[in-house]
Amino acid sequence: MVILAAGKSSRMGLKTSKVLFPVAGRPMVCGVLDIAHEYGKNSVYMVVSPDVNDALAAENVHTIVQQDPRGTGHAFALALDEIMNKDPHMASKKIIVLLGDMPLLTSSDLSILLASSHNAPLSVIGMRPPCAEGYGRLCVQNDRLIRIVESKDATDAEKSIDLCHTGIMCMDGEFAQKAIPQLVPSPVTGELYLTDLVRLAQRATYCQGPWTHFMGVNTRQELMQAERAMQERLRAKAFDQGAYLISPETTFFSYDTVVSPGVVVHPMVCFGPGVVLDSDVTIYSNSVLEHCSIQHNASIGPFARIRAGTVLGPFGQIGNFMETKNATFGAYSQAKHLSYIGDAVIGDHVNIGAGVITCNYDGHSKKITQLDDGVFVGSHSIFIAPIHVGKNATIGAGSVITKSVECETLALSRAEQKAIPLRANSRHLNRVKKGAPEAPVGNLPE
């Protein structure tokens, strides 16, 4: 399996390769990699530009750096040398060529390609896009693929052909070894075209797939179109899995969002990577979630930011204008408004009032706040972590808690309230009323 991903991304106006730009929350090339691993197992090779090599270090892929881009034929030749050096047995196997900027590709597309390649040394996937500009054309006679002509080299007659090349190929390893050295540079661009292999094959076959699966990304507008198409696909998947999206067009998923039957998502919700929604969860409007688990019958929002490491237990509630991070909430626990809960372990049946803050960072390291089962936290309380509050304890409103609290106790920490009489000429008694002139303080009666 070979992935060609060494383009310069000049039309994107990016400093890094376009294949690293995210679609549905991850680099577009990673979606292609997932499909490649389904078919190629650990034998996946990717030709990349120098700036991409380090970014893919964590991926299970053999990378080959193309220092001087000289066309797809040159890129594939580099990969073929690496393949044969590592596994000479590939000469008797099929080699599939994919493109790294094709985020909408599916596994079924490759199944169709493999089915068409059984009795031919070379097979390609064709498509019929609404606009063929920029695509290579498949020249077919009597249902036989004769050649592929690149758009830059095509005549006016050839440009009128609407059957286009997706860039995806499947070929015999032995054929590739013999044919690659025979490629010659294009007289127009000086590049080596992989598509010239069709001309060198005694018999080449082709199949067709839906053009929307093969949308390449060369411009920012095409990136936007790919994101839109991917979101439509993910929304349809969510409906199929039993979720209900009240306003699908304003719900944005990550590639890996997991939804369960009975999930309800209100308008204007954005899911980052790593979100798992169990059955009957409700996500209210204007909430953002990432790397979190929301369990059975729990609810989030509106206007909530749920950050990495949050786990909300069954029937729990995280309400409006809440932010959580690395916080675990037990069953039936709730924090309904205007609080920050970070680096915390919250037990079952805990109630957290409005304006509560866990002060989890001392400028050097993060500290844990632990609230055991049944704890009640009054509004506007502050926990200076590390803190442990025992079972069924109550924290009085407005308290600053700096020491751990025993079970079944009431903890209060408030400054003494004072009442200071005001003199008649005090500005506090003579504040300017709206619409009334301000009286000079010095002329006030005794």
Active site amino acids? 337
How many residues are there in the chain?
Answer: 446
H-helix or E-strand spanning residue 243:
none
Kindly tell me the sign of the dihedral angle through the C-alpha atoms of 108, 30, 127, 171: negative
- C-alpha dihedral (143, 149, 154, 159), degrees to nearest 10: 40
Can you tell me the distance from the alpha carbon of 442 to that of 254, in angstroms, rounded to the nearest whole number? 67
Contacts of 442 (CB under 8 A, 6+ apart): none
Burial degree of 385 (CB within 10 A; 0-12, 13-18, 19+): buried
Question: For residue 288, what are the β-bridge partners?
Answer: 270, 305
Q: 369: helix, coil or strand?
A: strand
Q: Count of CB atoms within 10 A of residue 68's CB?
A: 6
Say if residues 91 and 206 touch (Cβ distance below 8 Å).
no
Residue spans of beta strands (DSSP E) within 17-65: 22-23, 26-27, 45-48, 62-65
Residue type, 332: Y
H-helix or E-strand spanning residue 95:
strand 94-99
User: 272-287 burial, b if ≥16 CB within 10 A, otherwise e?
Assistant: bebbbbbebbbbbbbb
